Structure 1
Amino acid sequence: MLLDREEPLEILVVDDRQDNLDDMQELLEAIEQPVHCVDSGAEALEYLAQGHVGLVLLDVQMPRMDGFEVARRMRADPHTRFTPIIFVSGMAQTDEILGQGYGAGAMDFIAKPVQPAMLLHKVRALLEHEQYRRDLRRMSLQLERERAFNASILDNTAEGILVVGDDGRIRFANPAITRMLGCQEGELTGSELLSWVDVPGHLQWQESSFYEHWRRREHLRLHDANLHTRGGGVVPVALSCSPLPDDAHGMILLALDMSRVRDLHHQLEALAITDALTGLLNRRGFLQELQASISRHQRTGQKAALLYLDLDGFKHINDTLGHERGDQVLRQVSVQLKACLRPYDRLARIGGDEFTVILDSLSDPAEAASVAQKLIQQVVSEGAGEGGQPGLGVSIGIACLPTDGSSVEDLLRAADTAMYAAKRGGRRQYRFYETDLCPQN
């Protein structure tokens, strides 16, 4: 069952003791997500069939059906195969018990009595992961629906249709292809096919794959092609070309507009490299951008710098004010950091309270130092404590390309080392990796 994005995921608690259910219900109020409690494995499986559950907290020792059996049945059911399971049990966590639990499909094992902070942190993390997985699945299903829709158009010949002669000139164009290319009625007729297809260089008709496949009486399918519009734009299309009977001396070409499908692909790609909490690049997106910066340097000699940022005082906020307040602080800091950077600088959150900045087109390391100082001042001034709480700060390590490394691993290691040097030096400051070569604060 596919959920709407607005419907919150539920936490299902399964335990045969009512006092444990009551305690867990009270503890999970901090999550602000719906919680449903049942006292048997059979009831759990029945409730899971409704499709609302995003996480299961499952006791192991229960009469009639223990937690291991519930987990195995969940993993055997396509609707609950990927639903996260945390075993919460008073059993000794021996290698045998842990092996049995993880083998049954658990993602984690927590001993009773539970530590509230640890449990709440893991519940939040798994719920976020499950929501992210469902969002990806929803978008993938939407993409599949678009593909099926486009396939149905092909079946009903509602796509763009061109008839092309063996000389490469268009003999017929239906209204769909005319609209697709922004042409007037009859404008395509008589023109050369290759003048509308995006092909490399000045390819002659007899050298084209269209002509070669027609000559061999073979079908040609191009799933990632582009057609030029009359106004100078480009339309992404899937092309299918088939030879007509011999006496027709030509071929029929079907063009399917793939604009919406490509847009969905781009959305999926963007989702995969975006941090869900802040909207910045995530670690995967950051690594891609850093590799791209290294490649630009290899081509052009363009210098760059990597800034590795770690928040000072953030752990205290998380421990005293809670993870929800911590998430709010991370979002605020993201906005503050972005305000100090140029539009083409790349800011990422790579995990926890760690951020990175890639600065390209640098003429001198002092430029990186200037940016780092602005970031430190911004976080200190905007993140001052409220109600007697200590304020935030940020420690920054700087690695320069190419002096401190020419690979992703080397630059990350250098910037991380410099960041820890800044923390050891008193926090709320920056350090270059090679202090004997680069300027310091």
Structure 2
Amino acid sequence: MECVPEKPAEAGSVLLVVDDYPENLISMQALLQRPDWHILTAASGVEALDMLLRHEVDLVLLDVQMPVMDGFEVARLMRGSQRTRFTPIIFLTANAQSRDAVLEGYACGAVDYLLKPFDSQILKPKVQALLEHQSNARALRRLSRDLEIAQAFNASVLENAAEGILVVNEDGRIRFANPAISRLLKVSVAGLEGVPLLDFLQKPHVPDWYESAIYHGYQRGETYRVHDAILRSAHDQLLPVTLSCAPLSGQQHAMVVTVLDMSEVCHLHQQLELQAITDSLTGLLNRRGFQRAVDALLMRDDVDAQLRVLLYLDLDGFKRINDSLGHEVGDHALSWVSEQLEQCARPGDILGRIGGDEFTLLLNVDEPQEAAQIAEQLIERIAVHQLIQGLDVSLGVSIGIAVYPGGETGLETLMRAADAAMYEAKRAGRQQYRFYDALISTQALLSPAHWK
């Protein structure tokens, strides 16, 4: 028999009465009449099987002796069907059955035998008890099916969740891991079970599980979050993540740890940060990036004995290029100049483009004369005719040089000094360099008055 959907619980109970005598069917309908019971009738075994195919029946009252197909055969066919194998059957008979016949009936799946004529005070309570049992069984099957669906749904959620999910026992060992955290840590799901969470936690540093903020939060029944945690994968890769550790309710004695991979976010943040400190045309540090890099260097506690010397460069003739040849040629010229600067810079030097045609270079030297030599190289490199996009371009550069005097002098003061020296080089005829006197006081640096 093919299966059809179960009827709703509010539809009431359905009884099928099978008897080859019409008068018996009429009397049974009258006897079993109740608002919450729906009575179906069949006059033969074949008709009964047809009714069972088209209706969901809660109880069958089945006559034993019928032509063509008796009640035993109907019962055997019912028990062979997945749909009706558990439907209760009460055999009805007008004759007392032999012991063998009774045993055969029970073997076919009968739950009771009733002799005709029936006493309503006996029949109806038996029918009601069987229907209540059937209703409870159906509710249990429905609950079991709903539970299986819920379990399958939860398993699917855990299986397909993009976030890593761990269940960690109160002793700090992993009880459950989903595929996402397995992929993140490069460890199989089975390989994670039973392993201490601290084996993967790089930051925050937790030397003892029971002294950790994670465990203390679990004891208080609170959710503990770490937004800048770092996990270490099985391949020793450091992974920036956000952790959320929430206690499970009841007697689980565990917490659920949600792991959100922040690698892409951190990478995006680094890209945005890089864009914020980088000149988009030349790829050099912009003013903000140059200032940050130099400040970090000058504020180091382990500054060595080398001198810090700042070169402030301004191109000669660049405005003429922009005005006569256009900004596109001007951009190509700036890119070419930045390449010359990069070729002259050495490891540890800091190079930047801080304005339209203004560049800065912080050098680490043993003596100021090294800065003069590099300035001469730059003047020589840049003061040549170049073909840019088929056009003859002539450039030059004027350079001001200031030596970092130490103490509390900051980059802004140093840049003002180098800028003033650069303007002195321009007044002296361009395409040359000038030193600002590094021996004058910090106050004197604000007004360029002394030159070497």
Taking structure 2 as the reference length, the TM-score comes to 0.58
Residue 283 of structure 2, aligned match among 256, 279, 282: 279
Residue 411 of structure 1, aligned match among 409, 414, 419: 414
> Which residue is equivalent to 2:199?
195
> Which residue is equivalent to 2:238?
234
> Which residue is equivalent to 1:255?
259
Q: Distance in 1 between matches of 2:197 and 2:391?
A: 73
With 397-406 and 409-418 compared, the bigger mean Cα shift is at: 397-406
Q: Deviations over 1:265-312 (max 9, x none)?
A: 11111111122222221111111112112122x443464222111001
Distance change in 2, residues 1:205/1:390 (3 Å): closer
With 374-383 and 325-334 compared, the bigger mean Cα shift is at: 374-383
Task: Tell me, yes or no, if structure 1 residue 337 matches structure 2 residue 341.
Answer: yes
**Structure exhibiting the larger radius of gyration computed from Cα positions:** 2
Letter in 1 for 2:179: P
How far has the Cα of 1:250 moved from its partner? 1.6
Q: Distance in 2 between matches of 1:288 and 1:163?
A: 44
User: Identity, % of aligned pairs?
Assistant: 52
How far has the Cα of 1:436 moved from its partner? 6.9
Distance change in 2, residues 1:387/1:156 (3 Å): closer
Q: Distance in 2 between matches of 1:184 and 1:156?
A: 16
Letter in 1 for 2:324: T
Q: Distance in 1 between matches of 2:189 and 2:388?
A: 68
Task: Tell me, yes or no, if structure 1 residue 428 matches structure 2 residue 405.
Answer: no
Contact 1:294 1:406 in 2 (8 A): no
Distance change in 2, residues 1:291/1:323 (3 Å): same
Q: For 1:187, what is the secondary structure of its paired residue?
A: helix
Q: Distance in 2 between matches of 1:256 and 1:388?
A: 55
Distance change in 2, residues 1:400/1:239 (3 Å): same
Distance change in 2, residues 1:269/1:155 (3 Å): farther
Residue 222 of structure 2, aligned match among 218, 221, 228: 218
How far has the Cα of 1:344 moved from its partner? 4.0
Residue 244 of structure 1, aligned match among 244, 248, 251: 248
Letter in 1 for 2:435: F
Q: For 1:251, what is the secondary structure of its paired residue?
A: strand
Contact 2:402 2:438 in 1 (8 A): no
> Which residue is equivalent to 1:265?
269
**Count of paired positions:** 285
Letter in 1 for 2:327: H
Q: Deviations over 1:301-345 (max 9, x none)?
A: 464222111001112222222222222211111122112212543
Letter in 2 for 1:266: Q
> Which residue is equivalent to 1:50?
none
How far has the Cα of 1:162 moved from its partner? 1.2
How far has the Cα of 1:181 moved from its partner? 0.9
- Stretches of structure 1 lacking an aligned partner (at least 5 in a row): 1-152
How far has the Cα of 1:401 moved from its partner? 2.3
Q: For 1:190, what is the secondary structure of its paired residue?
A: coil
> Which residue is equivalent to 2:299?
295
Letter in 2 for 1:190: G
Q: Distance in 1 between matches of 2:417 and 2:346?
A: 23
Contact 1:383 1:393 in 2 (8 A): no
Q: For 1:191, what is the secondary structure of its paired residue?
A: coil
Contact 2:403 2:438 in 1 (8 A): no
Contact 2:404 2:438 in 1 (8 A): no
Consecutive aligned runs of 4 or more in structure 1 exceeding 4 Å deviation: 153-156, 382-390
> Which residue is equivalent to 1:395?
398
> Which residue is equivalent to 1:17?
none
Q: Deviations over 1:204-240 (max 9, x none)?
A: 1122121111111111222221100111110111111
What's the RMSD between the two structures over aligned residues? 2.9
Q: For 2:222, what is the secondary structure of its paired residue?
A: coil
How far has the Cα of 1:241 moved from its partner? 1.0
Q: For 1:247, what is the secondary structure of its paired residue?
A: coil
With 183-192 and 251-260 compared, the bigger mean Cα shift is at: 183-192
Residue 377 of structure 2, aligned match among 374, 378, 381: 374
